Amino acid sequence: MSRLFMFEKPLGMRDTLPELYEKKHRVRSLMDETIKQWGYQFIDTPTLEYYETVGTASAILDAELFKLLDKDGHTLVLRPDMTAPIARVAAARLLENDLPLRLAYAGNVYRAQQREGGRPAEFEQIGVEYINDDTVSSDGEVIALLVSSLKKAGLNQFQVSVGHIGFAQELFKQILGTNGRANALRRFLYEKNFVGYREQVNSYSLSSIDKQRLLQLLELRGGDEVIGKALDIVEDGYGKESLIQLKELWEVITDYGLKDYVKFDFTIVSHMSYYSGILFEAYAGNVGFPIGNGGRYGLIEKFGKKASATGFAVRLDKLLEAMGSQEVSNTVECIFFSQERRKEAFQLAETMKAEGKKAVLQDINGVKNLDAFTKKFANTTFLIGGA
Amino acid sequence: MNGNLTIAMPKGRIFEEALELLRKAGYTLPPEFDDSRKLILDVEAENMRFILAKPMDVATYVEHGVADVGIAGKDVLLEEERDVYELLDLQISACYLAVAGLPGTEMNDVAPKVATKYPNVAAAYFREQGEQVEIIKLNGSIELAPLIGLADRIVDIVSTGRTLVENGLVEFERIKDVTSRLIVNPVSYRIKDEVINELVTRLSGVVSLEVK
């Protein structure tokens, strides 16, 4: 192990310096505000959770968990996402009388450290969980809230791609029957390997119509016209049911007036087994990774309550990256004072703060380079010497 | 933003074949392209920007989204496991990954050593064979390793097999056939869907012709 330099911080950890802090804070408050306006209640949960409970229940892969031991030898995880801790709290404390529950959070989550840059081990997520309502209206509300809060935060160009875990699942089941063969195809979709998917389909002994149906799945993306195309390749059953849900979702999103932000994509398989219905990812053109994602999940059952839920999580770091370099206008003013006019300076500062302005009080004797220091402020007032 | 496509191209052997394929697909690329030493080439007529990268790095540029699409060997994709869409087998630069070594030699019983540019592929392959081997990562001239006793076996790309023969090595097992693939960043795949769909359609048109 090489000796550490004093400026070093652990791999994957980042500081938030004042300018970035300001930007982060502003975006977070705009999103928070929107989420609160929709009636969601914010909660906090601990940073540390048990590996056995939240760690294993989480959608995050085991290898990506940040693990440590407590003094009794229990394995702990730094929470890898907020959904699993909230599912725990909801099941244990908040779900009552079968009522719908709308919760929200903004907090740091942790992932195993990685050598390569651009993959912080700690980053902030803002999101919501809408628990105990399995209507398509609730899926629609979560997507609409995602879009609205991103718009409110100031992001102009973005897109939400929506899929349904049930469609591909059911298509595979109808055509391939056995789970093994269906799983092989699902894995190719999950790994985004369409070449492998096609090769696998062609290796099965199937009628050319069935092969065509499986291959067409890869083409199913676009606006609501895609649902019609999807209807052609799936038979009655859960697959068709998933399309009915997506059609209704499209109507819900249309009624929100947000359909320009949404597209369908039937190849989205964000996880091998976590999601149970409609799922989605949000993209901004200038960032190479999704800025947010979400969908319907059955996780709460792992914590002992039967309740279906949906939600979204936005990565604040990616969102800020997508918003580019925005000028944070410096509105702080500085009042320089000397002993003689100190009281006057303090009174002026009080008045300014009462008007909602930001004022720094600076003893003039404390500044060595006045020119350089003055440049840091939007405005300066000098109350020095005898009046 | 939409419409403008950045393509990461592998320098060297695959570059020329990839260029030929793009031209066959109807993209007008200037002739000076072929022997330029620039790393970034803009083709305004096609609204495309090409970046020239080391073959092993193409998938990295694409995963991070600084390139929308890229042309990368399957060997690179297997080794790097980047989160990118593998949309099309371009069927160019065909070769394969193989295990080779000195003829008539056995692996060392105590500490079987394998030298390779592909540590992940090599480790995964031997694990599947039920063998735990020690990997030594090299960056080139892998054939040297068994000749001077650094390793018992090598895992490397074989195209004609000439390098192996000339150095007195033989191929023991074939791991996987390799061709170049069209890869796409997941965000670009959604945001620039129309341009990318067109690229895929045009390329798959010429690829399937080649096969027949």
CATH of domain A332-383: 3.40.50.12590
Under the banding of pLDDT at 50, 70 and 90, the label for residue A227 is very high
Contact: B187, A196; criterion CB under 8 Å: no
Q: pLDDT at position A239, please?
A: 86
Q: pLDDT at position A192, please?
A: 95
Q: pLDDT at position A387, please?
A: 55
Instruction: List the single range of A37-41, A171-175, A249-253 with lowest mean pLDDT.
Output: A171-175
Query: How large is the average pLDDT for residues B101-112?
Result: 90
Q: Which residues of B69-92 are buried (b: 16+ CB within 10 A; e: fewer)?
A: bbbbbbbbbbbbebebbbbbbbbb
Query: How large is the average pLDDT for residues A237-242?
Result: 88
Instruction: List the single range of A84-93, A241-250, B30-39, B67-76 with lowest mean pLDDT.
Output: B30-39
pLDDT surpassing 90 at residue B109: no
**Higher confidence at residue B2 or residue A138?**
A138
Q: B82: nearest CA in chain A?
A: A191
From residue A64, alpha-carbon distances to A7, A78, A177, A206, A256 in Å are: 26, 11, 33, 38, 37
Q: What is the mean pLDDT of chain A?
A: 93
Q: pLDDT at position A78, please?
A: 97
Query: How large is the average pLDDT for residues A42-56?
Result: 96
Architecture of domain A18-323: 2-Layer Sandwich (3.30)
Considering the entire predicted model, what is its pTM? Answer: 0.92
Give the DSSP per-residue string, A213-253.
HHHHGGG-EESTHHHHHHHHH--TTHHHHHHHHHHHHHHHH
* Range B95-177 classified under CATH 3.40.50.920: no
- Which residue shows structure tokens 């091998």? A272
> Helices A18-37 and A316-323: crossing angle, nearest 10°?
110
CATH of domain B5-93+179-211: 3.40.190.10
Q: pLDDT at position A178, please?
A: 75
**3-class SS at B98?**
strand
Answer whether A264 touches B (CB < 8 Å): no
Q: What is the CA radius of gyration of chain B?
A: 19
Instruction: Report whether A118 contacts B61 (CB < 8 A).
Output: no
pLDDT surpassing 60 at residue B211: no
**Residues contacting A299, CB < 8 A, separation 6+:** A57, A59, A83, A84, A87, A274, A309
Q: Do domains B5-93+179-211 and B95-177 have the same CATH topology?
A: yes
Render pLDDT for A276-299 as a digit per residue (tens, 0 to 9): 999 999 999 889 999 999 999 999
Domains of chain B, by residue range, sit at 5-93+179-211, 95-177
Give the tokens for residue B102.
């000195």
Domains of chain A, by residue range, sit at 18-323, 332-383
Q: pLDDT at position B209, please?
A: 64
User: Which residues are A382's β-sheet partners?
Assistant: A336
Under the banding of pLDDT at 50, 70 and 90, the label for residue A45 is very high
Which residues between 48 and 67 in chain B have a beta carbon less than 8 angstroms from any beta carbon of chain A? 63-66
The alpha carbon of residue A49 is apart from the nearest alpha carbon of chain B, in Å, by 28
Contact: A285, B2; criterion CB under 8 Å: yes
Answer whether B95 touches A (CB < 8 Å): no
Contact: A283, B89; criterion CB under 8 Å: no
Contact: A284, B187; criterion CB under 8 Å: yes
Q: pLDDT at position A328, please?
A: 72
From residue B63, alpha-carbon distances to A197, B59, B184, B203, B210 in Å are: 20, 6, 8, 21, 29
Render pLDDT for A160-174 as a digit per residue (tens, 0 to 9): 999 999 999 899 999
Give the DSSP per-residue string, A127-145.
EEEEES--SHHHHHHHHHH
Q: What is the ipTM of this complex?
A: 0.90
What does the alpha-carbon distance between residue A22 and residue B119 come to, in Å, rounded to a whole number?
Answer: 44
Q: Mutate which of A61, A64, A195, A199 to test chain B, going by most B C-beta atoms within 10 A? A: A195
